[in-house]
Structure 1
């Protein structure tokens, strides 16, 4: 595959339509091409919207069918719920800072009251690989919205965040390209069809299958 053709495969790779061999060749190219790595990241929002459409469309509906008003309503409701939850967490954070300021060295645990939709945070560092990662998961109607923060100084390499379900199923949440020997924190967002209580652990892996770090929600 020529270099120009590899550049053109960015969208196909981000949307997961390349076969295994083509995806493997593209990931080799991705490790040496910052332009394609940036474009793959830019496709994240599009991929998540297509996932929403896929999960909200019955299997018997033709794939080219247009989404109806109910899908739009569910999307708007999901966005509104997430925004309300974020505003609540901001208010609780401000309130907690006031408590800490006046109460001295005390600890407070505060959660949002949006019906169990509060974010769950887990972080871990792997002693062997040296990779640190933090995953923030928030339940949505379709599954979970996931934010990943990672520090990996052993790049360049293409990596994935994989959610492992209690039934053993796996789903790639997001992918990215670790920069060349750059230990600064990277932040990515992704989504999974599994809810947080269905996920037993998260794993950060390279495109070649090497395990970098495991995060286990409590």
Structure 2
């Protein structure tokens, strides 16, 4: 077997031998432990060498007798591989940029949809507004239920002609009795006040007490309304009226505003 036959190991590993040379080398490989060992060591790098064609392999064989040619060949192979890797890197980078652009657009769209307020995603349904149930209405800006919430119950607006105190009451019938939500304005201070339930049988019950600061509520000094809630076990049908009273230091009460039910 000639030296050239031994040099067929790399060509055989890369599969660049023709059919006749392949058969010849395999016959040689069966009896040459040196070529078999060399072939085994080349298995891990076959993938790296797969880019070398038959012409380059022939040139490599010739370099065994010409060291200068070997150096030139290695330089050429390395340069070719660098160019190939560079082209692959450019192609990969271009693909990443293109994908990143599309992904960025998609991500921006998702963010815009996620951050958009609900009325941007789905516009309000046109049509007649819902009719509030009996005894309810949307409160004004200075009344209970401010902010568009509807106050529950029957509404009663009263301004006392003597004291000038203005009141708005919402009376609600409950299983436990009666609940009342109310607001007061034009209520000067300082003073102590209380809310009294006057029943139809002439009995009374104090269901809430509070203090009024010097600036009062719903006044020029303090335009904020006083908004309170209270409850009684007395059913609505048994109530004649509610009365807001002012209590002096001696415990004597005087009416500020009376709200018939």
TM-score by length of 2: 0.38
- TM-score calculated relative to the size of structure 1: 0.45
- The higher-RCO structure (CA 8 Å, 6+ apart) is 1
